[in-house]
A = this chain, B = another copy of it.
Amino acid sequence: MSSKYLLTIILIGTITFSCKQSEEKNKTVDLTAEQELIFPKGQKITNNNFVGNAWVEMLVLADSVNRNSVGSVTFEPGARTNWHLHPNGQIILSLDGVGYYQEQGSEKKILRKGDVVKCPANTPHWHGASPDTEFIQVAITSRVDGPTEWFEAVTDEEYMK
């Protein structure tokens, strides 16, 4: 085998390896981009107003002038709030995943990235993740006329209906 030929073989090996490395690197970037969150996942919610695992990152707390609180909530698949209402309603911005939203007396709605809900005042409702996919949402809650009122848990029958 001539040295020229040997050198060529080594060159092919080097190019192929570099190419593979380059692809692997890009794959990693893709994965990171998909998983990149806008807001931190926050703290696990430990009160009894939720079924399943959910996390909240409070982005803004209400004060006496701007009486809105804003939080990013992440629901694990199957997790949901209990039934509850807000005296001034609530705004839900769906950021990622697949979620459920239901007002008392209405059918359950499926929420996906970009969907927005304006939940009416004093209307019992619940929201959470779908059974198979987590759900990330921003909740904007006005405290002008008082705090959230919490009710009973959403049963599995209500959740799956």
Contacts and interface: CB of A to CB of B under 8 A. Distances in A.
B67 A113 contact: no
Contacts of A114: 37-40
Interface in A8-65: 8-9, 11-12, 15-16, 18-19, 22-23, 26-27, 29-30, 33-34, 37-40, 59-60, 65
A140 to B, nearest CB: 6
A153 interface: no
Contacts of A9: 8
A8 B18 contact: no
B65 A88 contact: yes
Interface string A54-84: 0000011000011110100000000000000
Contacts of A67: 88, 142, 144
A127 to B, nearest CB: 16
B19 A66 contact: no
A33 B33 CA distance: 7
A71 to B, nearest CB: 11
Given A5-B4, A19-B18, A26-B30, A68 B68 contact: yes
Interface of A: 4-5, 8-9, 11-12, 15-16, 18-19, 22-23, 26-27, 29-30, 33-34, 37-40, 59-60, 65-68, 70, 88-91, 93, 95, 113-114, 116, 118, 120-121, 138, 140, 142, 144
